[in-house]
């Protein structure tokens, strides 16, 4: 088991958002998490990677056999957790290259691998740029500054490729993307699929799932997973919306 979430309760600003959530993910699996606004999707993504403002009040998160409770966000990153942001952040004056070289070496250090020097990193980055079919000037630009919405999301996928994580959490990566950008992001993700790499795809819409075929679809509502199923559950939701499931949840 790569990720094991048990009876997770979490709050932000003293307000409980996640209320007893269970989730298990094996290596290589793709899980989609869907749900209406305010269900706790983004909170779940942030809690998993250890963002400060979110407090786990009960339950546990086990990653690769280790309890994450006491770990800082960077330590979780070193262990192989990656979050693709809903809104990737701009860092003026810091080149993507310097940023990612620092990140890659921090992770390599942790794994006991030697650091990559500038030339080695260039080679490594070039490979990934080709793999993802991205523009080669990507590295020279400041982190996300002046990037279009689609470019920012693709830059996150590029970072994912460089860091080679075990678990990629995509927090509504599809929001704000037009269909072409969506395809590009999905293709990027698909090229990074491997038997050792799992994905959690948090999304509002079925659309992204047409391109990234998940193994499982979960419906998150009121801080809990209220229904799980296969790929077909996503399609059903697209047609019928969440109402039926929500009604069922409240009734029973």
d(Cα 231, Cα 228) in Å, to the nearest integer? Answer: 10
Least distance in angstroms from the C-beta of 228 to other proteins: 27
What 3-state DSSP class applies to 114?
coil
Least distance in angstroms from the C-beta of 197 to other proteins: 17
Is residue 69 at the binding interface for other proteins, with CB under 8 A as the rule? no
Of the candidate residues 10, 21, 33, 49, the single one contacting other proteins (CB under 8 A): 49
Is residue 99 at the binding interface for other proteins, with CB under 8 A as the rule? yes
Is residue 173 at the binding interface for other proteins, with CB under 8 A as the rule? no
Closest to other proteins by CB, 93 or 114: 93
Closest residue by Cα to residue 44 from 68, 8, 73, 1: 8
Cβ partners under 8 Å of residue 154, min gap 6: 132, 134, 181, 184, 185, 188
Of the candidate residues 73, 150, 176, 229, the single one contacting other proteins (CB under 8 A): 73
Q: Six-digit token pair at 177?
A: 């993307």
Residues 236, 249 contacting (CB under 8 angstroms): no
Could you tell me how many residues make up the chain? 252
Closest to other proteins by CB, 94 or 116: 94
Is residue 89 at the binding interface for other proteins, with CB under 8 A as the rule? yes
d(Cα 75, Cα 68) in Å, to the nearest integer? Answer: 9
3-state helix, strand, coil in the chain (%, to 5): 40, 30, 30
Is residue 51 at the binding interface for other proteins, with CB under 8 A as the rule? yes
Least distance in angstroms from the C-beta of 98 to other proteins: 8
Strands (E), the chain: 3-12, 15-25, 30-34, 54-63, 66-67, 81-84, 91-95, 142-143, 167-171, 198-202, 216-221, 224-229
Q: Six-digit token pair at 221?
A: 């509502």
Of the candidate residues 20, 62, 64, 94, the single one contacting other proteins (CB under 8 A): 94
Is residue 110 at the binding interface for other proteins, with CB under 8 A as the rule? yes
Please identify, among the stretches 44-52, 114-122, 173-181, 233-241, the one whose residues bind other proteins according to the rule CB under 8 A: 44-52
Least distance in angstroms from the C-beta of 118 to other proteins: 15
Closest to other proteins by CB, 49 or 245: 49
Is residue 103 at the binding interface for other proteins, with CB under 8 A as the rule? yes
Residues 45, 6 contacting (CB under 8 angstroms): no
Please identify, among the stretches 61-69, 96-104, 132-140, 187-195, the one whose residues bind other proteins according to the rule CB under 8 A: 96-104
Closest to other proteins by CB, 12 or 235: 12
Q: Which residues bind other proteins (CB under 8 A)?
A: 49, 51-53, 72-74, 77-78, 82-83, 85, 88-94, 98-100, 102-104, 106-107, 110, 142, 159, 163
């Amino acid at each position: 088991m790569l990720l094991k979430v048990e009876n997770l309760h979490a709050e932000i600003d003293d307000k409980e958002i996640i209320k007893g959530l269970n989730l298990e993910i094996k290596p290589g699996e793709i899980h989609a998490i869907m749900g209406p606004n305010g269900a706790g999707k983004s909170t779940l993504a942030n809690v998993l990677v250890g963002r400060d403002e979110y407090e786990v009040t009960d339950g546990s998160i086990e990653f690769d056999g280790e309890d994450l409770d006491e770990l800082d966000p960077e330590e979780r990153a070193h262990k192989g957790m990656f979050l693709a942001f809903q809104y990737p952040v701009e860092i003026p004056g810091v080149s993507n290259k310097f940023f990612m070289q620092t990140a890659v070496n921090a992770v390599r250090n942790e794994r006991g691998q030697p650091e990559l020097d500038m030339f080695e990193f260039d080679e490594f980055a070039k490979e990934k740029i080709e793999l993802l079919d991205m523009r080669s000037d990507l590295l020279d630009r400041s982190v996300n500054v002046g990037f279009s919405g689609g470019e920012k999301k693709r830059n996150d996928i590029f970072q994912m490729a460089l860091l080679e994580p075990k678990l990629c959490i995509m927090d509504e990566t599809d929001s704000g993307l037009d269909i072409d950008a969506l395809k590009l992001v999905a293709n990027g993700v698909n090229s990074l699929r491997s038997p050792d790499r799992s994905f959690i795809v948090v999304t509002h819409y079925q659309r992204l799932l047409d391109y990234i075929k998940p193994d499982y679809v979960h419906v998150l509502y009121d801080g809990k997973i209220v229904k799980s199923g296969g790929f077909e559950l996503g399609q059903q939701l697209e047609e019928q919306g969440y109402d039926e499931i929500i009604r069922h949840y409240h009734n029973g």
